[in-house]
Amino acid sequence: MTEQRQRPRRRGQGELEALVLSALREADGPATAGWVQERLGGDLAYTTVITILTRLLAKGAVTRERAGRSFAWTSASDQAGLAAHKMRRVLESEGDREAVLASFVTGLGPDDERLLRELLGQSRNEGED
């Protein structure tokens, strides 16, 4: 009988970004990539953490400031903000925005539709102030 190696579980899309953002939100202030790596249990390579942080920076989800020869990172967005950014990016990549939005809205359940109407109403009211 041959012994089979177990492969590490493949993480879902965006799961690492969510973990890194969560770790940064728990920090007392700006945190280094090494701190994030340690906080996540150290099973991620340092270069992977840097790659994730750089992607989050490009999305506006984190900010960074010089800290010696490296950077200290701060969360600028929560998980909801990151998801909203992804939704906007998908919408912007489509040619027919109206069709995409219409399809999205008609696929909402009654509770989500009610919530969306409330949020749009609040947005309109804030614009009148």
Q: Which residue has the higher pLDDT, 82 or 49?
A: 49
**Is the pLDDT reported for residue 122 higher than 90?**
no
**Is the pLDDT reported for residue 119 higher than 60?**
yes
Q: Which residue has the higher pLDDT, 5 or 50?
A: 50
Q: Which two three-digit tokens encode residue 81?
A: 């903000």
Amino acid 91: pLDDT = 87
Q: Which two three-digit tokens encode residue 42?
A: 């150290």
**CA–CA separation, 50 and 107 (whole Å):** 37
Q: Which two three-digit tokens encode residue 26?
A: 């728990």
Render pLDDT for 55-108 as a digit per residue (tens, 0 to 9).
999 988 899 999 999 999 999 877 788 788 788 888 888 889 899 889 988 999
Q: Which helix (H) or strand (E) holds 67?
A: strand 62-67
Angle, vertex CA 108, rays to CA 105 and CA 111, nearest 5: 125
If you average pLDDT over every residue of the chain, what do you get?
86
Confidence of residue 3 (pLDDT cuts 50, 70, 90): low
Residue 34's identity, in one-letter code, is G
